[in-house]
Structure 1
């Protein structure tokens, strides 16, 4: 009898340790999220000292008719298509290269990982200086024969792609480390057996590396997609959504409505749509991870 009581008591001990963290998350994450969800159905703008007024689905109807919102959706999807495939493939190639047993290879790993530890504010300011009309990039182009510099951040057709390059540069080292952990878990004996069967050089990576790295490929794909969906710092520092809203993403539009226009309820509506999109990506991640582990 006493043994059963002791087992019952021990069963609740882990929950006691989790309770402080749960309370903290409740105040900092869950409660604000529920409040933002409720504000999506109210009118709460300009004078934030007034109580919100219930307006039902009006904000969602406004969102449906908002052309600028749909443009930000288009820009965000374009960002996904431009960034995610590169961040899935290129870091894997880097990881394969730095996974070699060569002298000084740790220096190469450090060099590729260095952009990850650099603050996005610092990186954004540095790249913005490189992109200016008299920046190093245009100076280099003039040296090789281009008489006129490229308007990297002021041309509506190039601004978003120029920001994408910064995101890719910043994320290569991070995803390389994830792939490197997966590569080092693959037994060298598999490559030796493949070499005996005639699978060598890059063929061995097609036969062995890619199939065994599939869970990591799914993980990097989903993480990079979620990060690209939430991109903000690069846009804020380098373009602020311009020129002519060509680089304005959903998160930046949300920030603009909430903190510049003080249209809090409408910003919460945009945030709710963004949350549902990220939730969908997270569900896909869980599903793909579960299928890959079968």
Structure 2
């Protein structure tokens, strides 16, 4: 898959330990070990088609960010929150104008000092269309920004580490996340994420450690292909800290069709669990072998940068940025 045929999102890690968000409850596609952690800049939460209900002492905070724009919304306790209500709340506070960094920080800090965040009542996968509903019309009309936001790639979202990539792919499969404008028939969806170097177990093997090291030394990359339900999914190790996950358009349609034909909710969950498990197996295997390989040492970042990266990869906080590859 060439770069011309992929739409790629990159994840970068930042260090700001202010607010906490608990992604609850966990669906079949969400790994059980994703817990609360801090956000980078602002908060955004998973959304289903049904409204979220905030508990009595809890605060729902949302802060999508794109092109310097940060919007903050708060929902009072015990109130049903819908996208329409949140959009109206944002407009009443900021209107259609882009906010300054000082205004963003002030509004965010006001909310972050009120309470830790714990969201309950979420029964679906991520509905990553949240961001587009919160944008002023001027930005919402920009197709490039729409394409980013429809895939949550310009939003700060806790926990989107390699372990959560399957949930994002499952959301695409189910049609809950529309295909972005750059993604057309014949192209591919791709994500680039920091490798989770804390992974310690795996239940499958695709090649030998020698094969991996030979690929890295010769090509400075490691392509790994896998097939699930006749859909080709490609993983490519880009450097010791990132991996690309791609799925082709025809494969996506195949997966989506099979998911929609499930005769029961139990079958649906089992299908998503199989997808998530297979992807996690591949990712974990790559991480386990490559991170332990002394032959990759000369390819890594300088010691100070490497230490910073390793410290940040501990599931502290993730910010999603993206570009059109």
TM-score, normalised to structure 2, is 0.27
Structure 1 or 2, whichever has the larger Rg, is 1
TM-score, normalised to structure 1, is 0.29
Between Structure 1 and Structure 2, which shows a larger proportion of strand residues? Answer: 2
